[in-house]
Amino acid sequence: MRGHSVASAMLLACGAAAAADATMVAYPATAMLSVDVVGVAPLPGLGVDRNQLPYQVQTANAAEVGAAAGQNLSEFMARNLTGVNINEVSGSPFQNDITYRGFRASPVLGASQGISVYLDGVRVNEPFGDVVNWDMLPEAAIGSVMLAPGSNPLYGLNTLGGALVLTTKSGKNHPGADLGISGASNGQRRADLAYGYDSGEHWNVFVAGTAFNDKGWRDHSDGRLANAYVKLAGAAGDNEWSIALLAGRSRLVGNGLLPDDLYEQNRRAVYTSPDETRNRLRQIVFSMTHRFDDHTELSAAMYARNSRRSTVNGDINDAYGGGDNPYPASYNTTETRQSSQGFSTHLSKDAGRHQLTMGLAFDRGSVAFAQYEQNAGFAPDRSVVPDPNAEEEAGSSVSGHSRTAGLYAADTWAVGTDTWLTASARYNHATVSNQLRRDDQAQPAETFSYRKLNPAIGIAHRVGGGWTLFANLSQSNRVPTVIELGCADPQQPCRLPVGLQSDPYLKQVVSRTAEAGARWKGARGAAAASLYRTVNRDDILFRSAGIAQQGYFSNFDRTRHQGADLSVSYRIGDWSARLSYSYLEAVYDAEGDLFTGTRNVHVTPGTRLAGLPRNTLKLGLEWSAMRHWSIGADLTALSDMATQGNEDGKAAPVSADWRVRGYVLASLHASYRPDSKWEWYLRVNNAFDRRYETFGAVAADMFPNGALQQQGVEAQQARFVAPGAPRSMAAGLHYRF
């Protein structure tokens, strides 16, 4: 009945509002978006009127992001951007798995990534696995957010389902100081500080920092992070320049999934621990812009980026279940060092009826990865304790280099006064070199090269009354990452994310997107609707090798993401409201077998991808109750999701339903602004304390009924779930001067 109630709520809401995937109106809903010119590539340029684009971008400015009291960036996007959802697989608020139209931007090594992420024109998908470390982004410095849909080739590799473009503030456009302090009932404490100064003539400076401490709402899940951002900028004649430094450090704990029986007993419990990730980052970016005239601008950027990731994981010992090892647990550690450097340049010109964009980009990266394993036992709380007398054994390791080069061009042509035709293309050339080491023996180095020319074409036509119709066709590609190439041999399977083997060839993924829709903007609101279809050819998936917990990456013929995005925002007097609805059909589009932890799953065309809801509804209501007060509420409803390992529906017992149930969550917020400097706010998340799950997977349960499985006895498979956070209250203040 629960799933039916969610579906009914969605249908009723969508029947009551004809709306669309359009301009996002962020919390607070009283702030209508006014940005009309947006960038069409990672680097800034002259930009294009968003109404002339043949696709629908979603944007938020600094005020809207900053007004999202008590939320981090990923939570803000999930609540306000159409088509964006969160899987709380790790349990840490800064390690969320973000999906957009079913494509992922995830911090999980080995996850199939499909969204490119840029910060001030610099790609922040890490070289090793294309992961996105949300904890290393300078949230206090973010000035704008833009989400572009589809397989847009201008944003380079990995833009299969979309591109997220973040730009930072400067002392020129954000002078003054901004202090934010907040605390939450689950033990979270956060402080943000930003300060900008503009000399008024030739230079300006901006500094920002964030400190976060979290006791965690689940057991053994404390975490902390800190980052600092400094930008010095200046201008001389027709030239502008800036140099920006970013440094960050975090220690986060994500305690993963719980088996159903343990989850029902205590949703705050953890299955095994520790599960700790430490990230460190140093980045420097030098940017320069030269204006030849009012209609021609050249931008360029150079960067260097170094990161380090250390992990500690307590896991079940694979050999214990088979009776080959008396130690039930394994204490696993990994160390990853990455460095990347790059250069990009971008020329934009407004040539009357043509708005031209041309650019090139070059990036190179190096990575060194090593993992170690030590025999261990379990404490009564299922935490893993290494045996001090057991030797720490070196596992697989890899070192490698990557080089990518891209050349792109685009033209938005005003065919008539109300019609714009946009054509673009990008040529990508990528080379990946690996050298693997196993059992202290270096394997021969191997090199793989990938090339692809990706085109796009679209049209936008203004029909009057504030309405514009648009349609677009686009193509992009993703090349295999080091970890995928290092675990691609069916004869030598590995266990993710710590096993690496020889390097058979993997094809690059090619995505093609078709999208069409309509958008409207009026004096009081905005609305839009779009239909889309993305087909991934040679998608990269993890397959079974017939050995428990082991498998390998290989290409899968086709997967398909198609659906509809709808949204509307409107304001009447002191009231404002927004609504968005997304329908997503994310399926396998060919026949094949998958590895999912304990069993092979045979999929056929139409089998659902795991962890993605078909229906998502978001509602927001804001009331400026009195002169200094505003009160609001948000509602998010998701339908059921397929469980990983049970995509075919055959893993669960006949009497059980192993789908992840749909759910409805409500949150409340209020703010008090006595003057233009001070703001006090209160937010209640999951106001009705609903019990819900955001992801599910089938795996062997080595702790049935809370007791360790007897050695040599085959463990039974069970459904594991990612528990959603219970009700929490957050309070804080902003002071601007």
Secondary structure of 222-284 as H, E, C letters: CEEEEEEEEEEEEEECCEEEEEEEEEEEEEEECCCCEEHHHHHHCCCCCCCECEEEEEEEEEE
Cβ-Cβ contacts under 8 Å for 234 (sequence gap 6 or more): 202, 203, 204, 240, 241, 242
Q: Which tens digits make up the pLDDT trace of 179-233? A: 999 999 988 999 999 999 999 888 999 999 999 999 999 998 899 999 999 999 9
Distance, CA of 337 to CA of 366 (rounded, Å): 8
Mean pLDDT for 281-306 is 97
Task: Give the global pTM.
Answer: 0.92
12: pLDDT confidence band, cut at 50, 70 and 90?
Answer: very low
Mean pLDDT for 373-389 is 92
Higher-confidence residue: 206 or 555? 206
Structural contact between residues 223 and 216, judged by C-beta atoms closer than 8 angstroms: yes
Distance, CA of 279 to CA of 732 (rounded, Å): 27
Q: What is the pLDDT of residue 568?
A: 98
Q: Residue 356: pLDDT above 80?
A: yes
Domain count, the chain: 1
Q: Would you say how long the chain is, in residues?
A: 737
Q: What is the pLDDT of residue 89?
A: 81
Cα–Cα distances in Å, from 180 out to 8, 141, 257, 285, 732?
40, 12, 33, 26, 7
Higher-confidence residue: 9 or 290? 290
711: pLDDT confidence band, cut at 50, 70 and 90?
Answer: confident
Q: What is the pLDDT of residue 595?
A: 66
Tokens representing 419? 């019609």
Q: What is the pLDDT of residue 438?
A: 67
Q: Is 111 exposed, middle or buried (0-12, 13-18, 19+ CB in 10 A)?
A: buried
Which residue bears the tokens 């010109």? Answer: 349
Q: What residues form DSSP beta bridges with 246?
A: 229, 283
Q: Residue 596: pLDDT above 80?
A: no
Mean pLDDT for 546-569 is 82
CATH number at residue 618: 2.40.170.20
Distance, CA of 205 to CA of 58 (rounded, Å): 29
Q: Where in the sequence is the domain holding 405, given as residue range(s)? A: 2-736
Distance, CA of 80 to CA of 24 (rounded, Å): 7
When mean pLDDT is compared across 284-288, 300-304, 370-374, 647-651, the lowest value belongs to 647-651
When mean pLDDT is compared across 62-76, 377-391, 580-594, the lowest value belongs to 62-76
Distance, CA of 429 to CA of 450 (rounded, Å): 6
Higher-confidence residue: 257 or 548? 257
Q: Residue 91: pLDDT above 80?
A: no
Q: Residue 361: pLDDT above 90?
A: yes
154: pLDDT confidence band, cut at 50, 70 and 90?
Answer: very high
Which residue bears the tokens 């965690």? Answer: 216
Q: Which tens digits make up the pLDDT trace of 367-380? A: 998 888 999 999 99
Distance, CA of 30 to CA of 576 (rounded, Å): 6
- In 415-550, DSSP assigns E strands to 419-438, 441-442, 446-464, 467-478, 509-521, 525-544
Q: Residue 470: pLDDT above 80?
A: yes
Q: Residue 8: pLDDT above 90?
A: no
Mean residue pLDDT across the chain = 88
Q: What is the pLDDT of residue 603?
A: 92
Q: What is the pLDDT of residue 709?
A: 84
469: pLDDT confidence band, cut at 50, 70 and 90?
Answer: very high
When mean pLDDT is compared across 27-31, 170-174, 533-537, the lowest value belongs to 27-31
Q: What is the pLDDT of residue 108?
A: 84
Tokens representing 571? 């304001």
490: pLDDT confidence band, cut at 50, 70 and 90?
Answer: low
Q: What is the pLDDT of residue 359?
A: 97
Distance, CA of 587 to CA of 598 (rounded, Å): 21
